[in-house]
Chain A
Amino acid sequence: MQHALISGAAISLVCSVVGLFLVLRRHSLFGDAMSHVAFGGIAIGLFTKVYPIWTAFIVSVLAAIGITKLREFTKIPADSAVALLLSSGLAVGVVLISLSNGFTLDLYSFLFGSILLISIQDMVTSIALCAAVLIVISIVYRKLMYITFDEEQAKVSGLDVGKLNYLFVVLASITVITSIRLVGVLLISSLLVIPNITAMMFGKGFKKTALISALVGVFSVLSGITISYVTNLAPGGTIVLISIGTFLATVASKYSMMLIKGKGEKLVTSMVDQKQ
């Protein structure tokens, strides 16, 4: 459980940070697309008896770079690119699984996560990858922020937007692959998206939003792992349900405060009118 908590915290942190840029670029489903491509890569690994995480990683990075190049040449919309990636990865995975022994326990753990079974070696690998991604993001985050805010303006200011976009998709791919252990292929996009949309409800600046997102993400993961360990529920699903609950609670409290504030203002106005 200790390995799970440490790995989970590191993975949720990097998902929050990378996910913020994906959400703001309106690429929320990119994580979903990459995870389905990863599924195809995992199937290749299981079929060829190579460690599936490595094949998933290679396939995901190549697919991310490939789809970016394809969009540049063909100008296909981003959501169509997501659909293309998603269906391609899934199709490859399904075909290879049908050629092998069908759904196995290994495949199940990749689909739905298996953080409670994580070994020390996997924990160290996850932490190293997360640290690498966070270090690179911390170096280029202002350039990424500029591109996210206004890509054309960023180009005019002299930034090499093309290279930075490629760098970002590679970092996003690494993040997705690293997260497979935690929530599985099917639920990764929730780790990337939900903490960030929760944080955006607070209406703060960029740095504070990133910080709130990280706190929400880490809270969801740590509490989700703990609850699933105690109650024997699926950890991936539990984590996602807690993060959804956090989002709904944030929305409810925000609108309650607005209602209270609105009623309070009406009360003050009516008291002032009565005095007059």
Chain B
Amino acid sequence: MQIAEGSTTAIVDVKNVSYSYNNSFSSSIILNDISFKVKEGDFLGIIGPNGAGKTTLFQCMLGLLKDYDGEITIFGEDTRRNKLVLKKIAYIRQKNFIDRSFPATVNEIVSLGTVGIKALSKEKEEDKILSVIESVGLFEYRNKRIGQLSGGQQQRVLIAKALIADPALLILDEPTTGIDQSTQDRFYALLKSLNHEKNITIIWSSHDLGAVNKLANKVACINKNMFFHGNAYEFFENEKLLKAYSESAMQAHMQLHLNKNPNSSNSNNNGNNPTYS
């Protein structure tokens, strides 16, 4: 289906997605019947406790996991079958994977964002790289090795790498983990400008409810199931919903604790979420 530019049609359509992890000994449900849509220009905050399935959801959306049930289309295409649609998407995950000894400068890492996209002339490509590095406030660090930068700066390098391909959709998976508050604030300001000024659609998972409240216009709560999906203000102004989310997060935390310490006497149910529509 052709998505018209500037229309209110969903550019991301997740329908009844379920995913289980199966091995010879056990099976566990990671996602159960998740459905939501994201329109062009939306800033969707996905919240949920550790183990809720947020990362798995992103991996399904990006076609990194293919054996899920249900349907996911992005810009009208199934990412499991059409790799070309991935060129419109930029994905940023936690910076913890970066090896501090990796011998590459900021310039070289950002230039990786041009790999696989339509080739510009060498001069134009270099100009674009410098422009993007400058837009994230790292121009003076462009020749430094990525391992020499702070966590927040490394995350900005990854953003620059993502931006150089002019993505229409930015997916971020807990990008501020391990970063101090002031750096997080600068990072959030950058995301806000990308969404408001460049109209980049953003899907972002975070534990920071305060930041999600400030930045996102839409919220999705998941904890294996879809707990809530709607406007951000409907969630944050509803005390019952917030309380239910906190209880659910606590239950999930306890369940994780039980899974690690099975002899604990603190019995629990199956971690079922109270449901609110």
Residues of A within 8 A of B (CB): 24, 142-143, 145-146, 149-150, 152-159, 199-200, 203-209
Contact = CB atoms under 8 A, between A and B. Distances in A.
Contacts of B83: 158
B205 to A, nearest CB: 15
B103 A206 contact: yes
B160 interface: no
Contact of A205 (B62, B97, B99, B145): B145
Nearest to A153: B91
B84 interface: yes
A156 B62 contact: yes
Interface stretch (B41-49, B104-112, B184-192, B229-237): B104-112
Contacts, number: 63
A156 B108 contact: no
Contacts of A142: 111-112, 115
Contacts of A200: 101, 103
11 contacts: A24-B103, A142-B111, A146-B112, A149-B102, A153-B91, A153-B93, A157-B115, A204-B145, A205-B107, A205-B145, A206-B103
Contacts of B102: 24, 149
Contacts of B214: none
Contacts of A204: 103, 145
Interface residues of B, number: 27
Nearest to A160: B83
Nearest to A204: B103
Interface in B127-165: 143, 145, 165
B106 to A, nearest CB: 9
Interface string B14-35: 0000000000000000000000
Contact of A203 (B99, B103, B108): B103
B250 interface: no
B91 A207 contact: no
Given A142-B111, A153-B93, A156-B86, 13 more contacts: A142-B112, A143-B115, A149-B104, A152-B64, A155-B64, A156-B62, A157-B165, A158-B84, A158-B116, A203-B145, A204-B145, A206-B108, A208-B103
Nearest to A197: B101
B87 interface: yes
B89 interface: yes
Contacts of A145: 104, 108, 112
Contacts of B104: 145, 149, 205-206
A155 B83 CA distance: 9
Given A157-B87, A209-B103, A146 B64 contact: no
Which residue of B64, B115, B143 has the most chain A CB atoms within 10 A of its CB atom?
B115
Nearest to B97: A150
A192 B206 CA distance: 42
Which residue of B93, B102, B105, B112 has the most chain A CB atoms within 10 A of its CB atom?
B112
Which residue of A149, A152, A154 has the most chain B CB atoms within 10 A of its CB atom?
A149
Contacts of B97: 150
Given A142-B112, A149-B109, A207-B108, A158 B87 contact: yes
Contacts of A207: 108
Given A24-B102, A153-B91, A205 B86 contact: no
A46 B86 CA distance: 50
A204 B62 CA distance: 33
A165 to B, nearest CB: 15
Interface in B214-247: none
Contacts of B62: 156
Interface string B160-177: 000001000000000000
Contacts of B145: 203-205
A143 B116 CA distance: 8
B59 to A, nearest CB: 9
Contacts of A146: 112, 115
